Chain A
Amino acid sequence: GAGVSQSPSNKVTEKGKDVELRCDPISGHTALYWYRQSLGQGLEFLIYFQGNSAPDKSGLPSDRFSAERTGGSVSTLTIQRTQQEDSAVYLCASSPPTLAGGPRRWFFGEGSRLTVL
């Protein structure tokens, strides 16, 4: 498809289990972001990949969270030993190269809704 694809769309897991969330960005988009959206909260930045550069992990809330991007394309967000407070919608966005002074344009996927029981 032409858009950002995320899977699974819904995931219910038990506390303490590990989960993997996948993002397939738009072809040709060099930048990829993961955000977390909790009820009543704004989008919370988690991690950013740009080309072959080292990722910006400054938004990851704990060392239970990690992400990788293979071959500059597909990304996987892994949450280890899930906790109930990890329940949220995890959104992935990709972005094409930005012209100097031009708008930053994100294209978001539909998200992976994680529920930790």
Chain B
Amino acid sequence: QKEVEQDPGPLSVPEGAIVSLNCTYSNSAFQYFMWYRQYSRKGPELLMYTYSSGNKEDGRFTAQVDKSSKYISLFIRDSQPSDSATYLCAMSEDNYGQNFVFGPGTRLSVLP
């Protein structure tokens, strides 16, 4: 079992849909969680950062952490074609950069 798992997709949704992207993990000690967006042939860019459990909202994006289930989610409301990208989750026990474990990413396609 991989330490961090994501459904690779591709996930195709119509414009305006609510998108749910998820990661599961096996290490119960993870407490720092991030979501990155990566456009084709570009480097990843940070979308959301959360510590421990709970929700965090930023515009159309909401990140949720459920540590009891070892499950994190990224919700995108009113999805746009410009949201089409690969979404990577990353997590760590501490905040040391080299210790973050990345998921393989979910490829999202928002159709106009």
Q: Do A and B bind each other?
A: yes
Q: Count of B residues near A, CB < 8 Å?
A: 24
Give the residues in chain A near B45, CB-CB below 8 Å: 108
Q: What residue in chain B is nearest A48 (Cβ atoms)?
A: B98
Kindly provide the distance from the CB of A98 to the nearest chain B CB, expressed in whole angstroms: 7
Closest A residue by C-beta to B5 = A42
0/1 string, A38-51, CB within 8 A of B gives 1: 00111111001000
Which of B13-21, B72-80, B102-110 contacts its partner? B102-110
Q: Is the interface of A mostly helix, strand, loop or mixed?
A: loop
* Cβ-defined contact, B97 with A33, below 8 A: yes
With a cutoff of 8 Å between Cβ atoms, the chain A residues found around residue B29 in the complex are: none
Consensus secondary structure, chain B interface = mixed
Complex interface residues of chain A between 63 and 117 (CB less than 8 A to chain B):
91, 93, 95, 98, 101-106, 108-111, 113
Interface size, chain A (Cβ < 8 Å): 29
Interchain CB contact under 8 A, B98 and A45: yes
Which residues from chain B sit less than 8 Å from chain A, CB to CB? 4, 8, 32, 34, 41-46, 49, 51, 88, 90, 95-98, 100-105
17 interchain pairs, CB-CB under 8 A = A33-B98, A40-B104, A42-B88, A42-B101, A43-B90, A43-B102, A44-B102, A45-B100, A58-B98, A93-B43, A101-B95, A103-B46, A103-B49, A104-B34, A106-B44, A110-B43, A111-B42
